[in-house]
Structure 1
């Protein structure tokens, strides 16, 4: 199983406010959870932004720590660890940090360099209804409804003053994608127009589209569509956006990502097969071959001669599956024997 978008390492690093763990320990600890969930390749989110707005502070310093730790562990552990670079396109510090990061990588990257660009400004995208974001703040920060509303007002005003940064970031990302230096997923596209713009700048993947119209437009352009496994498990989005389960039923989803819950991948896939939106091969393909296609990794995700021998043995169970064993290709192997 391939997880193309995991923010779980962030939570492993900071299980409680003020209780940050050593990076290497957190990565090893989270690796155990990935292995137990049957994940054999994981893309860890490294957020290039400076933000405290979603209950967990994301900083460039955190990204600078995550990237070398993940690269150092690489394919030598229980899981093939890789990086999903996440850029807040209205953050000038994040843009500068990602520029430096890609310059450091140069041509030494191990496989495709994934860069997901996002804009979490309330009132559009993921939080098209700002009320969901305000209720989130009330629940996580203990503020009043009036304080949450005032905070969102200030946040929107501040981020609306950075539209020039947004344009600079999108132009630069398009140049990088066009030159083949990065593989570019677009995070939370909400309309066919956004999909058109993503295609025009060389985007490769629609990541968590928030509407059916956006997902349909992506598929019409031949673009892979990723939805979150927790969305599928719950049957709906936590913030009022498109239901992953419904999009699968419409044939508009090609892959699932854990988002923040590794154990959700296999469970969501088998739930889809059990409830009928997808056949068992189709559902399993969402977390194997379909996810590998999203990541641009043709050497895995399918049972075929010459591909990596990453195998998960699972018992379907009722109501939830259990991973019995994971057989993973030896480090550096291109296929063949499992080890």
Structure 2
């Protein structure tokens, strides 16, 4: 039995002094447990549930730390896992991209390696966080169906998202002027950029519709939650809702987020947007979604540490109370993913817990427990 005392417990609707007792990986009791005795004194720090990240691209950054430097897959995975734990993330949905969208074959290789290596490291007990798979299906990619077929039966696939990053036609890259600037900044010559645009638009018209139907059918057959990605318009939301898609992931406009809420869809947004004070690509500011109660969960996107910081920023700016802000990175993601055994500090739930101390407003993780075992 482990006893944590003298904490500020962040519960569903309140923050109160006390502590937690857990055994066998489960929370047994919460109450007014002060300092002293045979427990661990948390010195008045916050104690929150383990963070649940439904969408992280961080693995891609570990496998490709430089444009021409490919890192060994298992080494990259261990580094990625360590960064997640250091950020207080105890449940990770590794977002693996299925299909090339004009950025080279690096993402496809990350998918190929990760499906094998995450399973191997999981069996060996080498990962400190619990890792699930989030399959990001690029609908214009010709190779996507074959990649999906290799992964969809994995029981650790718990989320599937429909993506179409065709420049000039949809989502984040709908603005061709901005897209051209971005690709030229990466070193592509103007003629090369135009070739990429033409090829991707051709692939969209050739493969999008059939691939969309295939992905929806495959996810439904396994009862996996489905998300749409980068929704911009009410029309897109209406189509998604009609096809049984219950999640909008990273809506790029306030109108899309409002339409999703009106139709009962869940919404996920990127925590880096909130930490940076806005979108890096000109899309809706996440703080505005929080203020209008249009958000159910934050995800790390490309910075694991952003989740905890974003929650405290949202509360500090008065957009939401702190317990509800912490819910955006714990109970909210748990509800979306159907993980009823975690995401809250309550008796009978998993003892996934994070000790957090504020340093001049910046939240710093001091200790992490997953299933009652200290892992960070």
* Shared fold, TM over 0.5: yes
Larger radius of gyration: 2
Task: Identify which of 282, 299, 314 aligns with 1:257.
Answer: 299
Task: Identify which of 31, 54, 72 aligns with 1:22.
Answer: 72
CA distance in 2, matches of 1:64, 1:273: 40
**Aligned residue pairs, count:** 321
Structure 2 portions without partners, runs of 5+: 1-50
CA distance in 1, matches of 2:278, 2:231: 17
CA distance in 2, matches of 1:4, 1:135: 30
Mean Cα deviation higher: 159-168 or 219-228: 159-168
Greater RCO, CA 8 A, separation 6+: 2
- Alpha-carbon shift at residue 152 of structure 1 (Å): 4.2
CA distance in 2, matches of 1:131, 1:67: 36
- Write out aligned runs for 1:123-272 (5 A): 123=168, 124-141=170-187, 143=188, 147-148=189-190, 150-162=191-203, 163-272=205-314
SS in 2 for 1:321: strand
Q: Which structure carries more strand by proportion?
A: 2
CA distance in 2, matches of 1:135, 1:157: 16
SS in 1 for 2:186: helix
Preserved CA contact (<8 Å) 1:173 1:201:
no
Structure 2 residue 95 is the aligned partner of structure 1 residue 45: yes
CA distance in 2, matches of 1:164, 1:265: 38
CA distance in 1, matches of 2:253, 2:245: 18
Change (3 A) 1:30 1:100: closer
CA distance in 2, matches of 1:197, 1:294: 20
| TM-score using structure 1 length | 0.89
| TM-score using structure 2 length | 0.80
Mean Cα deviation higher: 300-309 or 260-269: 300-309
SS in 2 for 1:301: coil
Coordinate RMSD, CA, aligned: 2.0
